[in-house]
Amino acid sequence: MIDEVLPRIYRIEVPLPHSPLKNLNSYVIKGDGRCLIIDTGWKREECLDAMQAGLERLNVDLARADFFITHIHADHLGLVGKLATKTSTVYFNKPEAAINNLEHPEVRWHNFGVVYRSNGFPEKELQWAMEKHPSLLYNLRQRFDFSILKEHDILNIGDYSFRCIETPGHSPGHICLYDAARKVLVAGDHILGTITPNIAYWPELDNPLKHYLASLEKVEPLDVEVVLPAHRNIFYNFRTRIAELKEHHRARLNQILVALDGTAMTAFDIAPHIKWDIKYASWELFPPSQKWFAMGETISHLRLLEETKQLRRQTRGQQIVFSLT
């Protein structure tokens, strides 16, 4: 589907096959002579076909197109290597450009395995989840010459003037775009209208959930009438949605504390006690890929509870366990 969501801002719905996310919203902003494409979809044929068809319908000349990538996840970054031309500028954030351009990314993935294994993830499911991870299958997976943007940098395109707002949490370098005159926030995955962004383990962030909640506080004072999220519907209840997201994480933290009542558990043992917004009858039926995302979110919540001294971490053999203080 292609629709004009605001004057000269168009949305292309890019399918994400077999993902609970269903689609990515790629936004095309038309200026005088050039356009800006925000996020791209997976490096996968279905995504490429949808993007190319949408761009053709919008009469976009890729030789006159630039790209802004909100963050490193494969559904946002993956296709930029296929779409960008020699005359394109690809805007990205510094910490995630460094991750993408690592000389030995396999070391980073090995370290993910070490962390998940020590937190109780069963070996067989862990190997399956890592082998099927979208970032390994569908992301850019090549070193790339990005144009780096940071806090307060301005992107002007057509009638819009967007200020960059760094919002780490969902990822280490996530950036939102804000046009104060038109009260528009391009939110990426920072704020979604009907689903909750996954706040997972990142080696680059000591306390991802703490960063995420601080990023919600950071954007809350903005005068926003329209939010353009990366998934599902455009929405208008900006501050109400922020309050809902805060409450969601408060409830999740409490679910962990209830699960730990009088016991010591690994993160993997705690995860089934959390209410997940996914349609499976039990934790055992979750595919390993969804257990991976749930595990990352559990670890990030445990880290916040540990920092606020509501629980303690101990090592027993090769396993990390948590208990109430």
Residue 278 is predicted with a pLDDT of 83
Residue 117 is predicted with a pLDDT of 98
What is the per-residue DSSP string for 142-188? S---PEEE-TT-EEEETTEEEEEEE-TTSSTT-EEEEETTTTEEEEE
265-310 pLDDT tens trace: 999 999 999 999 888 889 999 999 999 999 999 999 999 999 999 9
214-271 pLDDT tens trace: 999 999 999 999 999 999 999 999 999 999 999 999 999 999 999 998 899 999 999 9
What is the per-residue DSSP string for 64-127? GEEEE---SSHHHHTTHHHH--TT--EEEEHHHHHHHT-S-HHHHHHHHHHHHHHTT--HHHHH
Q: 149, 140 in Cβ contact below 8 A?
A: no
Which is it for strands 65-68 and 35-38: parallel, antiparallel or unpaired?
parallel
Give residue 304's Cα distance to chain centre: 19
User: Residues for the chain: how many in total?
Assistant: 325
**Superfamily of the domain at 2-102+141-245:** Ribonuclease Z/Hydroxyacylglutathione hydrolase-like (3.60.15.10)
Residue 39 is predicted with a pLDDT of 98
Position 149 pLDDT exceeds 90: yes
Q: What's the rounded Cα separation, in Å, for the pair 291 and 264?
A: 20
From residue 101, give the alpha-carbon distance in Å to each of 133, 140, 142, 146, 172.
18, 10, 7, 10, 15
3-state secondary structure of 269: helix
Boundaries of every domain in the chain: 2-102+141-245, 106-135+252-324
Per-position b or e across 193-217, b if 16+ CB within 10 A of its CB:
beeebbbbbbeebebbbbbbbebbe
Q: How buried is 102 (Cβ within 10 angstroms: 0-12 exposed, 13-18 middle, 19+ buried)?
A: exposed
Q: 30, 53 in Cβ contact below 8 A?
A: no
CA 141, 143, 146, 149 torsion: positive or negative? positive
CATH number of 106-135+252-324: 1.10.10
155-168 pLDDT tens trace: 999 999 999 999 99
Q: What's the rounded Cα separation, in Å, for the pair 70 and 93?
A: 8
From residue 208, give the alpha-carbon distance in Å to each of 37, 214, 233.
28, 10, 25
Report the 10 Å Cβ neighbour count for 65.
Answer: 20
Nearest alpha carbon to residue 70 among 184, 162, 188, 178: 188
What is the per-residue DSSP string for 1-17? -EEEEETTEEEEEEE-T
**In the predicted model, what is the mean pLDDT of the chain?**
97
Report the 10 Å Cβ neighbour count for 222.
Answer: 15
84-141 pLDDT tens trace: 999 999 999 999 999 999 999 999 999 999 999 999 999 999 999 999 999 999 999 8
33-51 pLDDT tens trace: 999 999 999 999 999 999 9
Q: What is the DSSP letter of 36?
A: E
Please indicate, yes or no, whether the overall pTM of this predicted structure exceeds 0.85: yes
Give percent above pLDDT 70 in the chain. 100
* Torsion angles phi and psi, residue 23, rounded to 5: -145, 160
189-203 pLDDT tens trace: 999 999 999 999 999
Q: What's the rounded Cα separation, in Å, for the pair 26 and 5?
A: 12
